[in-house]
Amino acid sequence: MKLLIVESPSKAKTINKYLGKEYEVRASIGHIRDLPKSNKKAIDIEGGFIPNYEISVGKEKVVSEIKTLSKKATEILLATDPDREGEAIAWHIREACGLKKAKRVTFHEITESAIKEAIKHPREIDMDLKEAQEARRVLDRLVGYDLSGIIWKKVRYGLSAGRVQSPALRIVMEREREIRAFIPETFFIINGEWKTIGRAKESKKYSILLECEERVKEKDEAKRIVRVSKESSWIIKDVESTDVSRSPKAPFTTSTIQQTASSRLGFSPSRTMMIAQKLYEKGLITYMRTDSTTLSNQALGEISNTIETTFGKDNLQVRTYKTKSKNAQEAHEAIRPTHASARFAGNSDDEKKLYTLIWERTISSQMKDAKLKRTKIVANIENRKEKIPDFSTTGSVIVKEGWLLADPRSRGEDQQLPNLSVGENINLLSMSANEKQTEPPNRYTEAGLIKELEKRGIGRPSTYASIISTIEDRGYVDKINKALIPTDTGEVVITFLEKNFDSYISDTFTADMEDKLDKIAEGKATYLKTLKDFYGPFSKDVKSKEKLEKATNLGDAPEDLLCPLCKSHMVIKLAKNGKFYSCSKYPTCMGARKIDGTIMEGPKLLGKKCPKCEKGDLMEREGRYGKFVACSNYPKCKYIEESEEEKKNKSTGVSCGKCKDGVLEERRGRFGTFYACSNYPDCKHAIKAKPTGNKCKLCGELMMEGTKTIPERCSDKNCINHNPHKIEDKKVVKKTVKK
């Protein structure tokens, strides 16, 4: 028996169809090892940046199964994805499972011919690729933890920064600043409708829309042009027709498929990559993480046959495309269908849509140019005593469709213009001058940001989707009508990083680091030296910023908004729930206003000393989840308890039942609302749902609110009344009866 190991069960299922009983195909289900969450244990910096990997939670069974199968196997092949991450996963499987004799095989499409050809050429694991991926992982951990640690202290706990997510956020924020600084200018668009005069041989008359070629800034000038236009007769000044060619676009790379799927299908980058992964694992497309536009000779042959059969030989034109990425791996192919003849494939609607997009782009890339006839008509008044700008319009008609036959969605609409001659008279029907204002630059969409990241050399194709997902999930940007808008939190975080760590989130640093990682992959640089050269200066810079002040200020409040307590100027500050106005003399003065200007209720002294430090005064304050009582010496003393008002509101009035005088109260935890004893931590009794006050007739425990089908159920999960619809096993029944 021969053992072949891949990452995905779906991939294993597809490959299993092509290999006989001689092979046992198993999936590692992604990474089986990773760095521990604790940064102290993760990397031995002094020992030479040695990562201390551990088996990922839940992967013990996978490791055990692979070990067992490997003992019976005569040959072990590691067939993980053909990139750095795939190489690293293969190495982790070998090391964690003790597969000393395992060999590596790679393929860029999951087809029978590709799989069988790959098996014929096993090789050793490429340690340069593995070390490049390891360097990236360690580097991201070091930068992320150190920068995030500073942000926790100086901005807010729980926020984060990263080697590539922060430069992406900076790009979004730079555009937002451009928009804020933009000063609109007024101008006038002048357009009208003219009627052509029927000729002797023509029974029909045509109308034509023309627009002033100059952008008029003055209102009086716009009025003059309209007046003169209406008082004068019009004539065709020029008619220019040109033949234009439209060439097809290159086959998809990871970057371009994410951009096109976003604009045409409305898919987010992460959604696009998830669907593409499924198509790849089903053997429908080639590997979806690539920056190459190359197509193999075999693929070109199949594509040519499909074009000849479907669209005719006269539309075929075999092309090669130059890859834009300087670090592209030309051995890889562009994203294409594995079988060019299959125009439609996939199970779900999303899969069918994305597959069709890939098929259209691939097939059209090898077809002849589309031929268009573009016509420009220019008109002006006959009377030249008062001059006005030319009015014109442009139309285009497709003469020969070419590659648009395969990709009709790129066609656009034809704009047919009437056949007019120079010197021909036309009659003005109507004209208007519309006031407009210049608009600021557009905010980035997800597709636009990916294009910009690729242009600046930030990240790699496989990371674009995760970069955007991270800044959205962290709450640093909001996506509104496809536009990415930085949030208050995102603005504070990136402003802090720009002021204090600008060199580490700059385009040049990020792109240079990607180049260094590529050199490790090529064997031209070493793992240890690359990390040493970076981390030495970086760690010193981080330590030098430990004494910085808190950075939650967003600038000065409007001058007319004064502190409600001391009448001093106010500043805009960032809190967990968003922006608010705070007195500039805080913490001496606690005056605050909501962002709409209304006064925020300040802390109230309760006339009691803190029971923990015995020095501070207890104060009632308002927080995210309502009112609470805290020590005035916070953060030196972190004593906190609920206010009496909150306790009354949250009390159920139902006795705890486990202690003498405890009452069950509503509480909030990481998994949502639950009900716990008021005597916590002395009594730790808690239930999941609101108690009804009744007791279970079987076991005597408290009953709690249930569902629509079970209005009331027992709080003891071992009791049959906890879920009457479920058939309990014998142990549970016995335990209930015993009670």
Q: Is 731 exposed, middle or buried (0-12, 13-18, 19+ CB in 10 A)?
A: exposed
List 672's β-bridge partners, or say none: 669
Instruction: Compute the distance between CA of residue 190 and CA of residue 214 in angstroms, rounded to an integer.
Output: 9
In the predicted structure, residue 327 carries a pLDDT above the cut 70: no
SS (H, E, C) 590-624: CCEECCCCCECCCCEEEEEECCCCCCCEEEEEEEC
CA-nearest of 214, 221, 212, 193 to 380 is 212
**Chain segment 12-33, per-residue pLDDT in tens:** 989 988 998 889 999 998 889 9
Strand-pair category, 626-631 with 186-196: unpaired
- Over residues 685-697, the mean pLDDT reads 88
Where residue 98 falls (left for φ over 0; alpha for ψ -120 to 50; beta otherwise) is left
Q: How confident is the model at residue 736 (pLDDT cuts 50, 70, 90)?
A: very low
The answer on pLDDT for 734 being more than 70 is: no
Tell me the sheet residues that pair with 477.
486
**For residue 731, what pLDDT is reported?**
44
Q: Is the pLDDT of residue 245 over 60?
A: yes
pLDDT in tens, 273-315: 999 999 999 999 999 998 889 998 999 999 999 999 999 999 9
Three-class DSSP labels, 3-48: EEEECCHHHHHHHHHHCCCCEEEEECCCCCEECCCCHHHHEECCCC
Buried residues in 9-36 as b, exposed as e (16+ CB within 10 A):
ebbbebbeebbeeebbbbbbbeebbbbe
Query: Is 157 designated active site?
Result: no
* Predicted local distance difference test score (pLDDT) of residue 460: 81
Residue type, 191: N
Q: Name residue 275's amino acid.
A: I
Is residue 328's pLDDT more than 90?
A: no
pLDDT of residue 39: 64
Q: What distance in Å separates the CA atoms of residue 272 and residue 280, rounded to the nearest whole number? A: 12
Alpha-carbon separation of residue 606 from 356, 624, 640 (angstroms): 68, 20, 13
As given in the structure block, the two tokens for residue 468 are 């955007």
Residue 642 DSSP class? E
92 has a pLDDT exceeding 70: yes
Domains in the chain (CATH in brackets) are: 2-125 (3.40.50.140), 136-182+442-544 (1.10.460.10), 186-247+371-437 (2.70.20.10), 254-368 (1.10.290.10), 553-646 (no CATH), 656-738 (no CATH)
Enter the DSSP assignment of 346: -
Q: 397 CB contacts (<8 Å, ≥6 apart)? A: 372, 373, 375, 414, 415, 416
What is the percent of the chain where pLDDT is above 70? 94
Mean pLDDT of 500-506: 90
Using DSSP, state whether 92 is helix, strand or coil: helix
Per-residue pLDDT tens digits for 214-238: 989 999 999 999 999 999 999 999 9
Catalytic residue among 287, 444, 464, 527: 287
- Percent of the chain, pLDDT > 90? 48
Q: Decide if 430 contacts 194 (C-beta within 8 A).
A: no
Predicted local distance difference test score (pLDDT) of residue 255: 92
Assess whether pLDDT exceeds 90 at residue 659: no
Residue 602 pLDDT > 70 = no
In 3-state terms, what secondary structure has residue 394? Answer: strand
Is residue 180 predicted with pLDDT exceeding 90?
yes
Asked if residue 578 has pLDDT above 80, the reply is no
| Token code pair at residue 369 | 């140019």
Residues facing residue 370 across a β-bridge? 246
The Cβ-side half-sphere exposure at 438, using a 13 Å CA radius, reads 12
For the chain, the first-to-last Cα distance in angstroms comes to 54
Q: Judge contact between 229 and 431, C-beta under 8 A.
A: yes
Tell me the pTM: 0.75
Contacts of 540 by beta carbon, 8 Å cutoff, 6+ apart? none
